[in-house]
Structure 1
Amino acid sequence: MGPPIHYYHRSDETSLCVDIARAVGRLFDVDPAELPPLANSFDAEAAEAVLESESDTVVVFTYLGQRITVTSDRVMTIESPVAGSGASA
């Protein structure tokens, strides 16, 4: 069995950073403001520019041990590591 995958649809009204923080906050059941700065993990501004300029684009990065995938059709998935798989959180 693969790792659990959590699906989110990005808002049309907020930035990629806000959408990611809200989704990860929900996943960890914490206020998004309490999470470490996303900028320490990846360049959201550059990712958003690529996602908006290209069709069928996918951006993948790791944040707080979670594999996050964002697509140009505004779908975001968060893949949690499987316990005992050697993946670190």
Structure 2
Amino acid sequence: MNNAHSNPTMDFIKNLGETLAYVGQQAFDWIIQASWKKLLLVSLLTILTGGLIHLSSLANTAVFGAILVKLFANKDKQTSSQV
């Protein structure tokens, strides 16, 4: 395929996908490494902020997902990232 006719929309979508994957991986790593106290504090602030800006369902989903990740994530990932 000729690069002279590259599609800027597809380039944007690829870059967006890579960025979202990176942010998701960093969030996942933070959730695993954070203490329960810190995670619950951030969850409370997320729910309050979500309620203030009328995105409570999104905030609730993010908090519920973070708690599930913390409960069921592989603990080997935590030990391998600290080495």
TM-score (normalised: structure 1): 0.28
TM-score (normalised: structure 2): 0.29
Greater fraction helix: 2
Kindly name which structure, 1 or 2, has the bigger radius of gyration based on alpha carbons. 2
